[in-house]
Amino acid sequence: MSSRRHLLLAAGGALLASPSLVLAERLLTPRQTLGPFYPDQLPLDSDNDLVQVEGRAEEARGIRVQLHGSILDAGGRPLAGALVEIWQVDANGIYLHSRGGDRQRLDPGFQGYGRFVTAADGRYGFRTIRPVSYPGRTPHIHLAVTLPGMPRFATQCYIRGEPGNQRDGLLNAIRDPRLRELLIVPFVPVSGQVNQQIARFDVVLGVTPAS
């Protein structure tokens, strides 16, 4: 594991377990659409640091976010060997996908997609940017989890307090407010750091590990 990945996990581990984790252990994370903008060509650099693209000096524009959490089974136990993927728009609202917006406005310093494989503790971590809105959608980060021998599970992570959440069709298609709240998490400023935030998003899957 690279030193950069170690740093990302260390930053995530510094945050105490949020009250939402207790709720998440009783309720499964709602599934959401993979969406039309999953990258149609994955970038050569697809590590868990989306802010720094290998070979480029400039970093991505936008507010830095340490997105971290745990991948858990239905009983709240950590899941090892889970491939966690995230993808989102850049600071200009453009996806990495070829039909995901004006290619002339694509931020070349933003990776747009990243992946991480969980160890025995089930934890993941990414360095990315705070998502922005684009026409028809409130800010969100797509996240997918694939366990060996199982189909990919996709969902989306939303920012608590975003006004657009109340109007977002995909988010509000989840009728049960308890389940909807599982996808909405605080993006908390990091004390003493400018334009740095941290967000914890745990994913609970309806699987039972082999005995």
* Parallel/antiparallel/unpaired status of strands 64-72 and 196-200: parallel
d(CA 118, CA 120): 7
> For the segment 29-44, what is each residue's pLDDT rounded down to a tens digit?
999 999 999 999 888 8
Check residue 25 and give its pLDDT.
45
d(CA 113, CA 133): 17
Of the CATH numbers 3.40.630.30, 3.10.20.30, 2.60.130.10, 2.40.30.20, which one belongs to the domain with range 3-202?
Answer: 2.60.130.10
Check residue 207 and give its pLDDT.
86
> Which parts of the chain have pLDDT scores under 70?
1-26, 208-211
d(CA 30, CA 36): 18
Check residue 200 and give its pLDDT.
98
